[in-house]
Amino acid sequence: MELANYRREYLQGGLRRNSLPDNPLSLFETWMQQAVAANLEDPTAMVVGTVDERGQPYQRIVLLKHVDERGFVFYTNMGSRKASQLAQNPRISLLFPWHGLERQVHVTGQVERLSTLDVMKYFSSRPKDSQIGAWVSHQSSRISARGVLEGKFLEMKQKFANGEVPLPSFWGGFRVKFDSVEFWQGGANRLHDRFLYQREQDGWSIDRLAP
Ligand X SMILES: Cc1cc2nc3c(=O)[nH]c(=O)nc-3n(C[C@H](O)[C@H](O)[C@H](O)COP(=O)(O)O)c2cc1C
| Rounded least distance, CB 25 to ligand X, Å | 21
CB of 189 within 8 A of CB of 11?
A: no
- Residue 64 assigned as binding residue: yes
Alpha-carbon distance values, 111 to 62, 123, 202 (Å): 14, 19, 21
**93 makes contact with ligand X (CB under 6 A):** no
CA distance 76 to 80: 8
**47 makes contact with ligand X (CB under 6 A):** no
Q: Which residues does residue 59 pair with via DSSP β-bridges, in sequence order? A: 49
| Rounded least distance, CB 133 to ligand X, Å | 11
Closer Cβ to ligand X, 36 or 63, answer by number: 63
What is the SS3 assignment for 139? coil
Interface segment toward ligand X; rule CB under 6 A; list 56-64, 94-102, 105-113, 156-164:
56-64
Backbone angles phi, psi at 40, to 5 degrees: -65, 145
CB of 119 within 8 A of CB of 76?
A: no
- Residue 60 assigned as binding residue: yes
- Residue 76 assigned as binding residue: yes
CA distance 7 to 22: 34
Interface segment toward ligand X; rule CB under 6 A; list 11-19, 25-33, 69-77, 194-202:
69-77
Closer Cβ to ligand X, 14 or 133, answer by number: 133
Interface segment toward ligand X; rule CB under 6 A; list 9-17, 20-28, 79-87, 188-196:
79-87
**32 makes contact with ligand X (CB under 6 A):** no
Neighbour tally for 160: CB within 10 Å: 15
Please indicate whether residue 190 is annotated as part of the active site: yes
CB of 136 within 8 A of CB of 158?
A: no
Among all residues, which ones are annotated catalytic? 190
Residues that bind ligand X (CB under 6 A): 42, 45, 58, 60-63, 74-77, 80-82, 139-140
